[in-house]
Amino acid sequence: MKLTILGCHSATPTASTHPTAQILEIKGHLFLIDCGEGTQMQLRKYRVNFSRIRHIFISHLHGDHFFGLPGLISTFLLLGREAELHIYGPKGIKQAILLLLKLGKAYTNYPLYFHELEENTPQVIYEDDKVTVETIPLKHRVYTNGFLFKEKLEDRKLDVNAARNLNIDLSYYNKIKQGFDVKNKDGKLISNKDITFDPPAPKSYAFCSDTEYNPEMVPQIEGATVLYHESTFLDEHYHLAEKTKHSTAKEAAVIARKGEVGTLILGHYSGRYGKLELFRKEALEIFDNVELAEDGKSFQF
């Protein structure tokens, strides 16, 4: 699982700070999470093979999470894309994108599917044999979802040498990977645990931005490998966080501690602070494993 931060700053972008967008590589997928203005330039800058993106998840329809989407969709068109593209986002996103395309007489030449979200409880919005994606309902000034990306538990790993030594027929190998005990060629029952290894523990990534402090999400993100939680403000400005329905670094850390996640990544910083390290310092007082998102930075889990 690899996470690349394309942008992690709040509100008004500048020449050097970009609004929210992330690429999550998970089980062969390249998922794009949010798409602030300039995301397509950032994808090129960090040499992401972005034609591989087939699923885009939009948390909410504030410009700094969404205004890069029309341009990216148009660029796919100009580059002659043929593969399907799926957009998951709040109700209204389809109307907006289709209106912009229509005004430019720029109908897509590839299949473009919208999956509009309007529920206030967690929903599985994508599933295949290797991963699931669920919404995490957040509390912000407009309808907003975080997203929980979960690997599925893989089959058990076959210990080929042990299976051979124990004289097991090849035709049983798939059954063994599924966890069954089997009989060998001599009719002896072989315990599954003697011929398999545990598969790697499934990993998960929870993306939570933008939101006010919202402990209701804790049961859902519990034990996540990585939690990205917005920290627009420091504790000294908690009243601004309350007013604008954002979180402080301290609040993000409390969520991480309650959820016993592996790593907390902070982001969505207000531009008012000089050093990002201040956010990490504040969160470290509550939670041990804190990383700072930075534009262009990658995390491997």
Cβ pair 269, 276 in contact under 8 A? yes
Task: State the DSSP H helix or E strand holding residue 157, giving kind and residue range, or none if neither.
Answer: strand 157-158
Report the candidate in 273, 278, 280, 277 with the shortest Cα–Cα distance to residue 256.
280
Which of 38/267 has CB closer to its own copies?
38
Q: Which of 61, 190 has the CB closer to its own copies? A: 61
CB of 72 to its own copies, least distance (A): 9
Q: Which is nearer to its own copies, 95 or 167 (CB)?
A: 95
60 labeled binding residue: yes
Residue ranges that bind its own copies, judged by CB under 8 A: 11-15, 37-38, 40-42, 44-45, 60-64, 66-68, 70-71, 74-75, 78-79, 90, 92-93, 95-96, 99-100, 103-106, 141-142
Say how many CA atoms lie within 13 Å of 63 toward its Cβ. Answer: 6
**Pair of tokens at residue 166:** 């124990």
Residues taking part in catalysis: 64
* 254 in Cβ contact with 213 (< 8 Å): yes
Q: Is 210 annotated as a binding residue?
A: yes
Minimum separation from the CB atom of position 47 to its own copies (A): 9
Q: Is 239 annotated as a binding residue?
A: no
Minimal distance, residue 90 CB to its own copies, in Å? 8
Phi, psi of 294 (to 5 degrees): -145, 145
Q: Which residues of 64-101 are buried (b: 16+ CB within 10 A; e: fewer)?
A: bbbbbbbbbbbebbeeebeeebbbbbbeebeeebeeeb
34 annotated binding-site participant:
no
CB of 36 to its own copies, least distance (A): 8
- 246 is annotated as contributing to ligand binding: no
Q: Tell me whether residue 196 or residue 232 sits nearer to its own copies (CB atom).
A: 232
What sign has the CA pseudo-torsion 271, 277, 278, 279? positive
Binding positions are 60, 62, 64-65, 140, 210, 268
Binding positions for Zn(2+) are 60, 62, 64-65, 140, 210, 268
